[in-house]
Structure 1
Amino acid sequence: MIVHLGMVPHRYFIINKPPNMVSQFVSSHDVRLLGELDFDFPEGTHAVGRLDSMSEGLLILTTNKKVTNLLFLGEVPHTRTYWVNVGHIVPPETVQLLRTGIPIRVKGGGYYTTAPCEVEVIERPAILPWHQSEGQPGVPNTWLSITLTEGKYHQVRKMVREANHRCKRLVRASIEDLELGDLPPGGVREIGEEEFFRLLKIDNWKSVISSGDLRLEPSVENQAY
C-alpha cells in the first residue's frame, strides 16, 4: 500500500526481501512486488540496488534519489556481505580461489576476473529461518560468508558456479555497518537519516543532498506511487 504525501523529509528503510519477490514496485510480469509487503511506503520510495528474485536479505528503500550514486558510485567502494549456502563441502583450496579472484562470464560472452574479496566458511546463521532451498537435513552443504565491493551481475552466484558448486541460497546480510539483523522475511524497518548514513559510512551526504550533484532518477518500475 502506498501513501501519497506532499513535500516531506527523505525517509529510509531496510527490508528483508523474501525469495520469489522482485526488487521492484511495478512489473509487466506476474511476479511478487515490493508493494505487496505489509507496509505503507511513502510516494516516491524506490529500491537502492537490486537483489534477484530468488535472493534474500537486506535491501534499501528510500525516497532519496541520490542514495544510489552516493553508495555505489563514490570514490571509496562500500562492502557488502552475503551468506551463501552451497551444495557439498567446500575445500580450503576453493575458498582461497574465491578469495584471490575467479574468472566469471560477463555480458557479451567474455570473462572477468573478480577482485580479491573476503571469503570464510561459517556455521549456518542461527537467525535465518530454514528454507526449502537448503534441501533435506543431513545433505552435505557449506555456508560461506562472502564480502566484496564489486557488484557485477549475479556475481556471487557466478563465482560459486565457476568454483564448481551450486548456490542453493543467497542472503545479503549487510552493507557496511547496516545489517539485516533479526529482521524477519518480509519485515520492514525505518531508519533515521543520520543513523542511515553513519552505518553506510557515507560522510559527505549532507553537502551532496543539499547540492544538485549526484542526482540519479530511479527507473519507473523501482518506484512506489
Structure 2
Amino acid sequence: MLSQFTREGEHETLADLGFEFAKDIYPVGRLDADSEGLLLLTNDNFLKTKLLEPRHRHTKTYYVQVEGEVTEDACAQLSKGVPISINGKQYVTLPAQSTVIDEPELPERNPPIRFRKNIPTSWLSLTLREGKNRQVRKMTAAVGFPTLRLVRWSIGKISLAQKEGEFPKPGDVWEVTAKDAKRFYE
C-alpha cells in the first residue's frame, strides 16, 4: 500500500483502508510499497512540521530482515554512518543505532519475502535521525546485507507495541490519544 491518498497505478492507497479520514489529514513520512509498519497521519501542522523537518532529527526505528547473518562489524559501520547514493550523489549517512535482534513477532507479510533454503536471514534494529529515500535499504546493502523485509517499528516515542489489545495487523487504524500525541512534542 502506498502511504498517500491519491491513486498511483495499481497500488492500494490509504483511501482503500475503509476508514473515514478528515480531508486535512496528511501522512507524516512515507513508506514505499515494499515497506510496512507505523505510519502517522495527522492534521496538526505544527506536529507535521516538527516530524518532517530534517533539522529536528527525530528518531525512527526500523526492524530489518536482511539476507545473511549480519555481523557486529556491519552494525558498527551502520552506527558510524555509511556512504550511499542519493539522487546520483554520494552521501554519508548520519550515525545510526544498530543492533542484531531476535526475529520479532510480526504478522505474516503479504506477499511473503523471497525464501532461499541455503541462505540464512537475520534481523536488526536500526534507529535513524534522518530519512533519505530508501535509506535503510541502501544502508544495509552498503554493508553487504540486502534488506528483505522492512518494518517501521516506531516514530519518536510512539511504537507499534503500544496499541492496546492485540498487535496491530496491516491496515489497522487507531487514533492516538491526546496524551500519546503530547509525547511527540517531548
TM-score, normalized by the shorter chain, greater than 0.5: yes
- Consecutive unaligned residues of structure 1, counting only runs of 5 or more, are 1-20, 204-225
Match of 1:159 in 2: 139
Q: Per-residue displacement from partner, 1:122-179 (whole Å, max 9, x unpaired)?
A: 00112x0233116267851110100010111111010011112211000000011101
> Which amino acid counterpart does residue 87 of structure 1 have in structure 2?
E
The answer as to 2:80 corresponding to 1:100 is yes
Question: Which of residues 75, 99, 102 is equivalent to 1:123?
Answer: 102
Query: SS in structure 1 opposite 2:132?
Result: coil
Q: Alignment RMSD, CA only? A: 1.8
Distance 1:110 1:49 in 2: 22
Structure 2 residue corresponding to 1:30, chosen from 10, 22, 34 = 10
Greater RCO (Cα-Cα under 8 Å, separation 6 or more)? 1
SS of the equivalent of 2:3 reads coil
- Identify the residue that residue 15 of structure 1 maps to in structure 2: none
Q: Which residue pairs with 1:195 in the alignment?
A: 180
Residue in 1 aligned with 2:28?
48
Runs of 4+ with deviation above 6 angstroms: none
Could you tell me which of 111, 123, 135 is aligned with 1:143?
123
Structure 2 residue aligned with 1:178 = 158
Report Cα offsets for 1:57-91 as digits up to 9, x if no partner. Answer: 00001222332212232754211100000001112
Cα 1:139–1:195 change in 2 (3 A) is same
1:39 deviation in Å?
1.7
Distance 1:130 1:74 in 2: 32
Aligned partner of 1:13 in structure 2 is none
Counterpart secondary structure, 2:113: helix
Aligned-residue identity in percent: 37
Go from structure 1 to structure 2 and tell me whether the alpha carbon gap of 1:74 and 1:88 turns closer, same or farther (over 3 Å shift).
Answer: closer
Normalised TM-score (structure 2): 0.88
TM-score between both structures, scaled by the size of structure 1: 0.74
3-state DSSP class of the match of 1:42?
coil
> Take 1:188 and 1:24, find their aligned partners in 2: how far apart are those partners?
14
> 1:197: how far off?
2.5
Contact (CA 8 Å) 1:134, 1:169: kept in 2 or not? Answer: no
Q: What runs of 5+ residues in structure 2 fail to find an aligned partner?
A: 162-166
Q: Which has the larger radius of gyration?
A: 1
Counterpart code for 1:124 = E
